[in-house]
Amino acid sequence: MAGLVPPGTTTIPADASKTAHTKHEEKTDYMNLPCPIPYEEIHREALMSLKPETFEGLRFDFTKGLNQKFSLSHSVFMGPTEIPSQSAETIKIPTAHYEFGANFIDPSLMLIGRVLTDGRLNARVKWDLTDNLTVKANAQLTNEPHMSHGMVNFDYKGKDYRSQLQMGNGALFGASYIQSVTQHLSLGGEVFWAGQHRKSGIGYAARYDTDKMVATGQVASTGMVALSYVQKVSEKVSLASDLMYNYMSRDVTASVGYDYILRQCRLRGKIDSNGCTAAYLEERLNMGLNFVLSAEIDHRKKDYKFGFGLTVG
Query: Would you tell me which residues interact with other proteins (CB under 8 A)?
Result: 62, 64, 66-72, 100, 102-104, 106, 111-113, 115, 121, 123, 139, 141, 148, 150, 169
Nearest distance from C-beta of residue 150 to other proteins, angstroms:
8
Q: What does 241-272 look like in DSSP terms, one character per residue?
A: EEEEEETTTTEEEEEEEEEEE-SSEEEEEEEE
Which is nearer to other proteins, 123 or 243 (by Cβ)?
123
Which is nearer to other proteins, 28 or 148 (by Cβ)?
148
Nearest distance from C-beta of residue 139 to other proteins, angstroms:
6
Which is nearer to other proteins, 141 or 293 (by Cβ)?
141
Nearest distance from C-beta of residue 285 to other proteins, angstroms:
19
Which is nearer to other proteins, 169 or 222 (by Cβ)?
169
- CA torsion sign, 279 to 284 to 285 to 291? positive
Q: What is the bridge-based pairing of β-strands 303-312 and 289-298?
A: antiparallel
Nearest distance from C-beta of residue 61 to other proteins, angstroms:
14
Q: With b meaning 16 or more CB within 10 Å and e meaning fewer, what string describes 107-128?
A: eeebbbbbbbeeebebeebbeb
C-alpha to C-alpha distances, 117 to 74, 77, 97, 122, 143, nearest whole angstrom: 11, 11, 6, 12, 12
Nearest distance from C-beta of residue 151 to other proteins, angstroms:
13
The alpha carbon of 259 is separated from its chain's Cα centroid by a whole number of angstroms, namely: 15
> What's the CA gap between 243 and 272, in Å, rounded?
10
Which is nearer to other proteins, 54 or 169 (by Cβ)?
169
Do 280 and 269 meet the contact criterion of CB atoms below 8 Å apart? yes
